[in-house]
Amino acid sequence: MKTFPPHPLTDRLRRPVTAITAYDYPAARLCDEAGIQLILVGDSLGMMVAGHPDTTSVTLDQMAYHTEIVRRGVSRAVLVSDLPIHSYDTPEEALRSARRLVEAGADAVKLEGGLGQVEKVAAIVGAGIPLCAHLGMLPQRVREEGGYKKKGKSAGEAARLVEAALALEEAGAFAVVLESVVAEVAAEMTRRLRIPTIGIGSGGDCDGQVRVLHDVIGAYPWFVPPFAKVHGNVAGVIRDSLRAYEEEVSGTIPDAPRQQKKTCEGRGEGGSSPVPERT
Ligand code: KIV
């Protein structure tokens, strides 16, 4: 049975590692109270919170803000925050950005990429900040790659993934997320690495799994990735509650629409506001 190397953060994780994203206080608190081991302030917030098509417009300021509010809801789990695109283009910038997220409340940071990131990982870890790596499909590169594609399909690509993972482990990463990696390749990486692998769309043989919160609870009905198992229907509960509220209010004030119309016309004509003046 694989045991993780001693590390202040891996000491708080057990196999299988349960990890999930959270972007705000109530979600983070619910995840923490549910016993989730690792909470990720993912830059997927650009999609799930801000409604962008991908993560490439997320800024460090946004990540710091969401880290701060998630921190208030987390007392047990390990809190990891994503370094967003272009916040770690050089080792110096990577370290500056990582420090900013730690100041905002992160226990650790995560960045995407393989061999090209080793120097940055070493700079961050060398300064005492725990770092989680991220290999396989890299959402911050989705535009260059022209879509979300499975990784490790060819022998060459699989070998490069293993090589990158070993180099990131050597540079001091405490864990590695494997996103959309062919299951057999993810299993091989899990065998070869001492640090935990945390999979998403990478089969069941990783040391743990991470999911986007909205996928798990059914809060984002407009798109669900094929690998996601939806365990709830939060969007349905919200819709039903809103319909019930809307029906209750419009039912108890039958002439509400007419009154509203009159009010608007009054304003349009330059009439006085129907809201009483404060004195
Ligand atoms: O930003 C994110 O949600 C992530 C997960 C997909 C691992 O990086």
State the Cα–Cα distance between residues 195 and 3, nearest whole angstrom.
8
Residue located nearest, by CA, to atom 1 of ligand 1: 42
CB 129 within 8 Å of CB 7 = no
Q: Which atom of ligand 1 is nearest to the CA of 44?
A: 1
The structure tokens 């870890």 sit at: 125
CB 69 within 8 Å of CB 25 = yes
Ligand 1: centre distance to CA 5 (Å): 24
Per-residue model confidence as pLDDT tens digits over 34-49: 999 999 999 999 999 9
- Read off the amino acid at residue 10: T
Ligand 1 in contact with 82 (CB < 6 A)?
yes
User: By mean pLDDT, which of 49-53, 76-80, 265-269 is the weakest?
Assistant: 265-269
Per-residue model confidence as pLDDT tens digits over 57-67: 999 999 999 99
Residue located nearest, by CA, to atom 4 of ligand 1: 42
pLDDT band at 257 (very low <50, low <70, confident <90, very high): low
179 is catalytic: yes
Residues whose CB falls within 8 Å of the CB of residue 133, separated by 6 or more in sequence, listed in order? 110, 111, 113, 117, 121, 165, 168, 173, 175, 176, 177
The residue ranking higher by pLDDT, 260 or 170, is 170
Q: Which atom of ligand 1 is nearest to the CA of 212?
A: 3
State the Cα–Cα distance between residues 219 and 275, nearest whole angstrom.
36
**CATH hierarchy code of domain 10-232:** 3.20.20.60
Q: Which atom of ligand 1 is nearest to the CA of 19?
A: 7
User: Taking residues 168-185, what's their average pLDDT?
Assistant: 98
Ligand 1 in contact with 138 (CB < 6 A)?
no
pLDDT of res. 163: 98
pLDDT of res. 264: 44
Tell me the pTM. 0.90
pLDDT of res. 275: 45
Percent of the chain with pLDDT strictly greater than 90: 86
Distances 166 to 67, 127, 170, 195, 208 between C-alpha atoms, Å: 29, 21, 6, 10, 18
Distances 275 to 253, 261, 263, 271 between C-alpha atoms, Å: 18, 15, 10, 12
Q: Which atom of ligand 1 is nearest to the CA of 43?
A: 1
Mutate which of 18, 80, 82 for ligand 1 pocket (most atoms within 8 A of beta carbon)? 82
State the Cα–Cα distance between residues 32 and 123, nearest whole angstrom.
30
Q: What SS3 class is residue 192? A: helix
pLDDT at residue 152 greater than cutoff 70: yes
CB 172 within 8 Å of CB 131 = yes
pLDDT at residue 271 greater than cutoff 50: no
Ligand 1 in contact with 202 (CB < 6 A)?
no
Ligand 1: centre distance to CA 212 (Å): 7
Ligand 1 in contact with 215 (CB < 6 A)?
no
Residue located nearest, by CA, to atom 2 of ligand 1: 42
